[in-house]
A = this chain, B = another copy of it.
Amino acid sequence: MLGSLHDEGAARLSNKTYTISDLAREFGVTTRTIRFYEEKGMISPLREGQKRLFTPSDRVRIKLILRGKRIGLSLKECIEVIDMYDPQHNNTDQLHSLIDTIDSRRQTLQQQQRDIDDMLANLDQIKALCERSLSSYIAPDQGTSNRKKI
């Protein structure tokens, strides 16, 4: 399997499991959300009778899904990224195509980095203007455009 990342102490042979509300609480989502992810085939928890039993691996997948969402990926894109961890390799073509996918995903991420940097810089500017405006604050006043500081 090309080396499964995220085993989180594979040595411990961890057979720990989580309930659905454990994970919901940990990640600040509803149980509905987690069931929805299962419906979509994004996770496949075990069953103990009727109840779901989540493994550490399920837990990591959820974590990765939420990381994806934080940067604006759709759920579909989230699984695309996650599936890269466990490639159906064996095949040279597939490996090459995976590399292409990775490169393209990287482009997007780098564009996002630039966008975030830009936006942060803008926020800094605005904040600075706010603070200058506050420091020189005396009384309510209109047009501040080209007015010199008092």
Contacts and interface: CB of A to CB of B under 8 A. Distances in A.
Interface of A: 1-3, 5, 67-68, 70-73, 81, 84-85, 87, 89-92, 95-96, 98-99, 102-103, 105-106, 109-113, 115-116, 118-120, 122-123, 125-127, 129-131, 133-134, 137, 140-142, 144-145
Instruction: Kindly name the residue among A70, A110, A130 whose own CB sees the greatest number of chain B CB atoms within 10 A.
Output: A130
A89 B102 CA distance: 45
Contacts of A103: 127
Contacts of A144: 1-3, 89
A116 B115 contact: no
Contact of A116 (B90, B109, B134): B109
Secondary structure at the A interface, as helix, strand, loop or mixed, is: helix
Nearest to A134: B95
Nearest to A103: B127
Nearest to A96: B134
A145 B3 contact: yes
Contact of A90 (B1, B113, B126, B140): B140
A5 B70 contact: no
A67 B113 CA distance: 11
